[in-house]
Amino acid sequence: QPFISKYITSSMTNGPLNNDAAAPPPLPSMMHSFATPVQPLSRLSELKTLCGSPRELWVTFAIKFLDSLANFSMHIILVLYLTQEFAYSDVKAGAVFGAYGALITAYGIGTGLIIDRIGVVKSMYSGVILSLIGRLIMLLVTASTAGQAMLLIALIIVLPIGNSFMFPTMMIAIRRYTVKKNRNFVYGLFYTTMIIAIFVSGPLVDLFRLLLSGDDNILPDGSVEQAKLMYFAWTPYRGILALGVASTVVECILCMFLREIKVEEDEATRTLDTITNESDSASAASTTTSTQLRTS
């Protein structure tokens, strides 16, 4: 008990409860951390980090937009295209659409290994050319026996393999054309590009349905007129597929501007550090000016 009493008395005399006791000075590191908080990069500074990016990054964005526009506009009309141009039942058209989507993932297991071996540029060419062939087949075939077989080949083999090349290759390309400091921001722009293409594809489908005479193969009772299916005719659905073909042709041209390169981390990081320091200096100057104005 005497020991405890002595300890309590000493703590009350010399401890933090004693107002007369001088508090220890803060550490220099603590003073620095409280005085100058770390300023996060603004959106403008993040955009400035893209100024030194290679042209391949912007080409990849353009290819992504065009490929997404072609794909999602086709997805909107695919079931209607199969039912009204090829007399598929709703169940059969839905099954073909589901198989098409599932096979993109299934083929991706094999194409992933190929992408690692042949590189970004050749993989991009492979995906674009296969997609172009598949979309041309879908645009030109009719409901004849040979046309039905070609349509299934396009939807079950050619287009899924082309799509399984495209998305992984573009993801790898984004990683190679960026550095750690701006990679997350660039991936955000990549997905934003896809969302913009999705947003645009809906009004484009409506526009084609207004400009081209549609539903010519539908009889008054709602059934499909089989005789007209044997001949090629421009319908809104074929117009949308033609838009996809044109987009894919532009993708082929853009692929010519791709190079098998990788951004050097050290050099790009030095550039980004310079931009970050300029941003921090501007923020500090703005804060100082605001403080002086309040003081005056």
The amino acid sitting at 44 is L
How many angstroms separate the CA atoms of 288 and 177, rounded?
37
Write out pLDDT tens, residues 248-280: 999 999 999 999 888 876 554 444 444 444 444
Give the fold, CATH level 3, of 54-257.
Growth Hormone; Chain: A; (1.20.1250)
Candidates 84, 81, 91; CA nearest to 226 is 84
Measured CA angle at 244 (ends 243, 248), to 5 deg: 115
Would you give the DSSP letter of residue 296?
-
pLDDT (tens digit per residue) in 36-58: 444 455 666 666 767 778 899 99
User: Please, are residues 85 and 234 in contact by the beta-carbon 8 Å criterion?
Assistant: no
Q: How many CB atoms lie within 10 A of CB 38?
A: 6
Q: Taking a C-beta distance cutoff of 8 angstroms, is the pair 172, 115 a contact?
A: yes
pLDDT value for 169: 95
DSSP state of 144: S
| CA separation, residue 141 to residues 18, 88, 241 (Å) | 92, 15, 12
Q: Six-digit token pair at 237?
A: 């659905």
CB 193, CB 136: distance < 8 Å? no
pLDDT > 70 fraction of the chain, expressed in percent and rounded: 67
pLDDT digits (tens, 9 = 90+) for 104-154: 999 999 998 999 899 999 999 999 999 999 999 999 998 888 999 999 999
- Rounded Cα distance between 154 and 82, Å, is 13
Q: Where are the domains of the chain?
A: 54-257
Task: State pTM to two decimals.
Answer: 0.73
pLDDT range class, residue 212, cuts 50, 70, 90: confident
- Confidence check: pLDDT of 180 > 90: no
